[in-house]
Structure 1
Amino acid sequence: MTSTPLRPTRRGLLTAAAAGTGLIAVPGLADRAVAGAPYVQKPLPSAWFYDYGTNAEMRWESVSPREYLTSPERLFVRDHTATPSIDASTYTLRIFGDALATPRASDQAVSLSYADLRSLPVTRLTTVHECTGNGRSFFASQQGTPAPGTQWKLGAVGAVAWEGVRLATVLERVGLDPRAVSVMATGLDADYVSGGVDYGPVRRPFPVSKALDDALLVWGADGRDLLPDHGFPIRLVLPGWVGIASIKWLGSLEVSATRQTSPWNTIWYRMTGGSYPPDSPPLTVNPVRSALELAWGATLARRQVVGLTGRSWSGAGPIDHVDVSTDGGGTWQRARIRRGGHREAWTQWEFDWRAPSRGDHVVMARATDVAGRQQPLVTPYNENGYFFDAVVRHPVTIV
């Protein structure tokens, strides 16, 4: 997205909340204001995050190679407006549309409470959850073609163990017309306003085929209730797809017999500019990416063997193999897979960098998934900086 409304920094909101309620912000905890007051946003300690005010990026150097999952406290944050306060006891999900077995207008929607949803059969699924703009900063720093928006490095991503109910189960119980084509998911956050234009609530349609395949209505992550920043009480999760498709604070689902559109699949979250044609389709499946578990510009002590670790992932399926270069792409060697991903979850790998010389180096990791998709050396430019999937040139100094 080319612009995002400004709001106070999360650290400022936490400070204000603490001053007004006696709340103490403790890194690693999901904090609430006292006496039934609204949720406050989660802490963003600088050791874990780059804080962009509206958004927050995970620092890869804070990731432990021993941990596979990204805990909710450490997961990146991407909001279009602000995190809303929603009471689970009064929450309802509204389902309507002309492609239900019994067509329903919006004012005749089926309403499901939080308790209704949590009483349904439970599904648990671990997936990689990722912002569409992850890696955007490298369009400028690596390719010399800057794109506006949050200048993510590679930390707008995480592997999350979700808990919820399959959307297919919900639609089966509500009743689905065979003519159904698409589902419009709409969030309960405030309307998005940019450049003086009110685009309404964040919403995005997706095919009913995806709804019946692996879409989830989620209430938990990492064995706990969702944090407010990540969609409490209920969010949609579309495994393997762009993060914007997994609407947070889900308020309604409109099931239609025709193809639906919104600004989030016509104006944004499709490739525009550069060499892309004007009718480029909305973005869906995430590309292949890799990241080193190192600080940007890391300084490492010279040893006979310097161990490198990292992760690779793809929206299309597991990673087949990862190659690493320690000389800026001159030569490549195969990394060892430490833990492979299942379906959309990521793969952990390690590499022994033998007898590195002192000085500055460029380390690169290039993954190939089981569908044969391999990270390129250059990502074609688009004006919103989406899907930077090129091999990242990571600077490292050996001393």
Structure 2
Amino acid sequence: SPHEKAVIRWIAANSAVPGNGLSWTPLQDLEGTLTPSGLHFERHHNGVPQIDPAQHRLHLHGLFERSLSFGMNDLLRYPMVTQQCFIECGGNSNSGWNQEPLQVAAGSLHGLASCSEWTGVPLSIILDECGLQPGADWLIAEGADAAAMNVSIPIGKARGDAMLALYQNGERLRPENGYPLRLVLPGWEGVLNVKWLHRLQASAQPVMARNETAKYTELLPSGKARQFTFVMDAKSLITKPSPGHRLKGPGWHEISGLAWSGRGAIKRVEVSTDGGKSWMEAALQQPVLPRCFTRFRLPWQWQGATAILQSRAIDDTGYVQPDRATLIGQRGRHGYFHYNAIVSWEVAPDGSLRHVYA
């Protein structure tokens, strides 16, 4: 509509590595819990391949009883399931490790996370058809991009809720989201949800690829590395109001935001307007689904004074979203991935908001 401003992804390219780039979902401009396909975040390690689905095949080999190859029309003949879940890049929110808070919109800080409805073939059906041999404890998944991006997936997850996704939000996958075929591993970090999937190798060991050794790991204060993190921990942030918004004077305002957890469903979200000194329980918008975005809301009467807004998610395993000091105490100062600390917005007396550490 000409009466509404355009809602677009914020796109950034790595000038040093052609084809390497990403785009962020504008969380601060969206309502509800599902992300439109055209606003789903992107993370590309070597561009977006243009693939003819008539030529694209999924090859399964390695520790299988039978090595099989499937065309896209073959997969479309199998029983399909539909599931909503979020996908979050392991590098989402990584500016939170910075010494000083970055002053950009909420989506530009935390928008490497999106939530969609995915439809496809349960991976377990295909694995059963191939027949896993004893000792096949891992699947090596590889994409058809120029980087041949590959990762290792434990066989338990592959035989669980993993999906060979062909549709997103009711339409065929878009090229930037993996057309014609991608993996979807609900609740697990984004790099494992391999796009443009063309190869699955059953293996006794992980492949120890670049994106599970040099990347998506953390060097801890002990000197050991935190590797194969897989599950994304509980996280939340207030999207309205947030930096770039302005409160139009004292009075009643709604605080709204998103919470999610790769461990399961969000059980509770608490909101603070005084920098964590006191907390109020927010209402959770139904339905509350496991491994999905959950919208929370809380009415707040602003008195016109400086305030610090925060949210804290608790999931149904009892995991509590940590504050920043606790997270840094656990992980040290060498962090770059898997940042899920409490987010703080400061409201100034003029109604403007900025990102702070509190």
Q: Judge same fold: TM > 0.5, yes or no.
A: yes
SS in 1 for 2:135: coil
Partners of 2:291 and 2:89 lie apart in 1 by: 14
Residue 176 of structure 2 aligns with an amino acid whose one-letter code is D
Partners of 1:165 and 1:145 lie apart in 2 by: 42
Match of residue 88 from structure 1:
53
Partners of 1:326 and 1:382 lie apart in 2 by: 28
Ranges in structure 1 where 5+ consecutive residues have no aligned partner: 1-44, 103-108, 192-200
Deviation for aligned residue 1:293: 2.1
Residue 55 of structure 1 aligns with an amino acid whose one-letter code is L
Q: Is 2:194 the partner of 1:255?
A: no
Q: Percent identity?
A: 28
Q: Is 2:168 the partner of 1:212?
A: no
Match of residue 21 from structure 1:
none
Aligned ranges 1:285-296 → 2 under 5 Å: 285-294=231-240, 295-296=242-243
Q: Is 2:84 the partner of 1:137?
A: no
Deviation for aligned residue 1:46: 6.8
Aligned ranges 1:21-40 → 2 under 5 Å: none
- Paired residues of 1:340 and 1:348 also in contact (CA < 8 A): no
Q: 1:304 aligns with which of 251, 265, 275?
A: 251
Partners of 1:119 and 1:138 lie apart in 2 by: 45
Deviation for aligned residue 1:63: 0.5
Ranges in structure 2 where 5+ consecutive residues have no aligned partner: 14-20, 352-358
Partners of 2:235 and 2:110 lie apart in 1 by: 9
Q: Is 2:65 the partner of 1:101?
A: yes
Q: Is 2:278 the partner of 1:331?
A: yes
SS in 1 for 2:120: strand
Partners of 2:127 and 2:223 lie apart in 1 by: 36
Match of residue 138 from structure 2:
182
Deviation for aligned residue 1:304: 2.7
- Paired residues of 1:318 and 1:340 also in contact (CA < 8 A): no
Q: Is 2:318 the partner of 1:372?
A: yes
Q: 1:391 aligns with which of 326, 329, 342?
A: 342
Residue 262 of structure 1 aligns with an amino acid whose one-letter code is A
Deviation for aligned residue 1:360: 3.6
Q: TM-score, normalised by structure 1?
A: 0.78
Structure having the higher strand fraction is 2
Deviation for aligned residue 1:74: 1.2
Cα deviation, 1:194-239, whole Å, max 9, x if unaligned, reads xxxxxxx210011111110111111100000001000000001111
Match of residue 49 from structure 1:
9
Deviation for aligned residue 1:341: 2.6
Partners of 2:133 and 2:170 lie apart in 1 by: 34
- Paired residues of 2:95 and 2:101 also in contact (CA < 8 A): no
Deviation for aligned residue 1:60: 2.0
Q: 1:244 aligns with which of 181, 191, 198?
A: 191
Residue 85 of structure 1 aligns with an amino acid whose one-letter code is Q
Cα deviation, 1:347-387, whole Å, max 9, x if unaligned, reads 11101112x12244321000100111111112224535111
- Paired residues of 1:51 and 1:57 also in contact (CA < 8 A): yes
Q: TM-score, normalised by structure 2?
A: 0.87
- Paired residues of 1:297 and 1:396 also in contact (CA < 8 A): no
Aligned ranges 1:119-130 → 2 under 5 Å: 119-130=77-88
**Superposed CA RMSD:** 2.2
Residue 205 of structure 1 aligns with an amino acid whose one-letter code is S
Match of residue 63 from structure 1:
30
